[in-house]
Structure 1
């Protein structure tokens, strides 16, 4: 069998060259894809790191504000910290404003700004970005047509530009959040972005709301502190008024008891005076007749004189007791207290001089006249001056001073007379009883002088007090009202 000629297929060199070029191109594209993937992975890693860093910064900001809440009660400081932290954490933010609602909830006033300026300006709920945030239940990202309508509100624009002096107006977007405690609306926080409308992201909403919540807590606590302080002031005032009322009640009860005691003593005095006066008068007359028949230089005459003097003292005691219960009914008349005191000093001048007591008088010249019983007031001051002299057996100084003061409620004026001595003073155990009838520390005293004096001053609508230190002298203070004078009966 004859075989014909054989042939071997030869590769198409042009085709092979084309396939090799395609492979190389695919390899290049694959390498580029790997490089792009690596680049994207690096970018993602950077973004994750950036987000982690941003989250860390935001957490630190929240912690910083929380710490400020614990150490300061200055609400303005805390609100300024909130807006400053909000702006610092967004590099493209142009500024932030924080508004507070008034008590009615119908007005929002600018309370803090990232520029530190809060020169007034108010919004209504629903007006501008802040007004919308105030009515919203949660934080919002404001972009697009709704943002344009809100940011163009002339009231908010005026506040942002002219009051707070925010830069970069108008902004490209905003994050807004209400300041609320449960259902109680307190205000709104607005964070303005620059002209880039994509600066903010929905993931930023929890952070801006957290800042707003911290501000709301600070505001609520501040209002609670203000209310607590007001309640404490009211409580203190109520307690003070209660204490004053109780003091007046105690004084009235003490005065009532004293009046009852004086009435009982007075009735007894009148009865004793009536029963004793007639036999006393007979005894004194009998002694007088006997005395006429006895020579002056005999011992019997000396003893008769002693008896006469003692009977005279008994008569004076009876007279004082009678006067204490039934004082004289002289008429009220205008009385110059300074003149009355000067006359009284003149009356006791010789007595004081013999006791080596010097007198100084410091009278206020413009004192008004009193409507009073001058003779009875003279009796009061005469008794006080004589007592002062008795308290200075070795001599000393007697100071008489007058002044005009207002009462605590400023409803009346009081003329005050100070009778001050440099004598022996009065011990503490004696002070509460000085004005009680028949209480005396003097061997020859009756215990009626100060009681009668206090009675007269009280009947004039005034009061008498004493300040004393044992060994350092005493001051008797007589206060008499200029207008409210009750006539003595």
Structure 2
């Protein structure tokens, strides 16, 4: 009996024994994990209390006992646990005898996240191909425009020089936009080295001091001194953190504050599966992001800024994803936004550390 108990406890899905009244008679370790509580606390309590669709589940349990047949619920059920969001689960009921049935619970949140990421990746690949072609087609006439503007500026007719300056400035702005498009359209090449994340962040804050002083924004740094160096591309990681930090500054009002926090997280991030993470959190007390906008933050060309390209966060996400990491955004309108960058601490050995130009390409 103990051998079978060990086997059931080793399973990667929840296994519960329930009676005809839907009371829990036994549960394995994964079942405890999915429900977010211990076996001792839930024995002889109703499984229905964990589900949003209680009536539907009760009907299925009664049907299972009445017919003696297994039942696979057609739709995913929503578990209500201590987690902030309901957990989607697959539910299978299997009749055992007139006093007991086996309920199998499979947490589907990771699979759903992977499916969403794959769908987004497919969209990215399509957009990348289009953007690559667009950038190529625009580049030639843009070069001609810049060349013509320089010739006009060298002209003896001083009345046309201001017009040439306008043409040149706008063409250079378009050239910068094309550079962003090219960055997004091609996979990032990651050159690993040993990165001291705190040195990187301090350098970033120091370089932004003129803007911070101008807007009277205080930066509060809370760094975990125990963090080791991380295997990453220092220059590209700086690009990511600079983009997030600038967004925080732009969202902040005058005489406000931004906090930068580092730490370690132990556990799993859906769809990726590393167990030990270095986290950088950049929090502002700005306007916040509307819920309908939050879902679009990493979509190419979505922006709420008058002069924005909508490529900063998508490029940042690509860079972090190439490191095996993830970016999360939590935001409340009128309160502020917290952007968390997760980077794996456990990964392959990196090449020897080399000094890089932090501001290259900025």
TM-score by length of 2: 0.66
Change (3 A) 1:403 1:244: farther
Shift of 1:391: 0.7
SS in 1 for 2:288: coil
Count of residue pairs brought into register by the alignment: 262
Match of 1:440 among 284, 300, 303: 303
Equivalent pair of 1:358/1:396 in contact (CA under 8 Å): yes
Pairwise CA RMSD: 2.9
| CA separation of 1:357 and 1:249: change in aligned 2, threshold 3 A | same
Residue 216 of structure 2 aligns with which residue?
356
**Which secondary structure state, in structure 2, belongs to the residue aligned with residue 429 of structure 1?**
helix
What is the CA deviation profile of residues 381-400 of structure 1, one whole-angstrom value per residue up to 9, with x for unaligned ones?
A: 00011111111243421111
Aligned partners of 1:457 and 1:321: how far apart in 2?
17
Paired with 2:144 and 2:187, the residues of 1 have a C-alpha distance of 26
8 Å contact kept, 1:461–1:486: no
Separation (CA, whole Å) in 2 of partners of 1:449 and 1:229: 50
Q: Which sections of structure 2, spanning at least 5 residues, go unmatched?
A: 3-18, 36-88, 91-104, 351-362
Determine which of 325, 337, 353 is the counterpart of 1:462: 325
1:332 is matched with which residue: 192, 200, 203?
192
1:404–1:272 CA distance, 2 compared to 1 (3 A)? same
Larger radius of gyration: 1
Q: Which SS does the other structure have where 1:293 is aligned? A: coil
1:413 maps onto 2:241 in alignment: no
1:339-384 Cα deviation digits (max 9, x unpaired): 1111111222222222222212111111011111111110000001
Cα pair 1:418 1:478 within 8 Å, conserved: yes
1:264 has 2:131 as partner = no
Please identify which structure carries the higher strand content. Answer: 2
SS at match of 1:269: helix
Which of structures 1 and 2 has the larger relative contact order (alpha carbons within 8 angstroms, sep 6+)? 2
1:480 aligns with 2:343: yes
- SS of corresponding position for 1:404: strand
TM-score normalised by length of structure 1: 0.49
Among 160, 165, 183, the alignment partner of 1:305 is 165
Work out the CA distance in 2 between the residues paired with 1:462 and 1:421.
22
Counterpart for residue 377 of structure 1: 237
* Aligned equivalents of 1:392, 1:465: Cα separation in 2: 19
Contact 2:279–2:341 (CA under 8 A) maintained in structure 1: yes
- Counting helix residues as a fraction of each chain, which structure ranks higher? 1
Question: 1:46 corresponds to which residue?
Answer: none
Runs of 4+ that moved beyond 6 A: none
Q: What does the per-residue CA deviation read over 1:388-418, in whole Å, with 9 as the maximum and x for residues that have no partner?
A: 1111243421111101121149972111111
Correspondences of 1:48-67 after superposition (within 5 Å): none
SS in structure 1 opposite 2:306? coil
Task: Give, in whole Å, the separation in 1 of the partners of 2:156 and 2:281.
Answer: 50
CA deviation digits over 1:261-284, x for unaligned, max 9? Answer: 111111111111111112101111
Provide, for residues 231-260 of structure 1, a one-character-per-residue CA deviation record: whole Å limited to 9, x for no partner: 356794486575774111111111111111
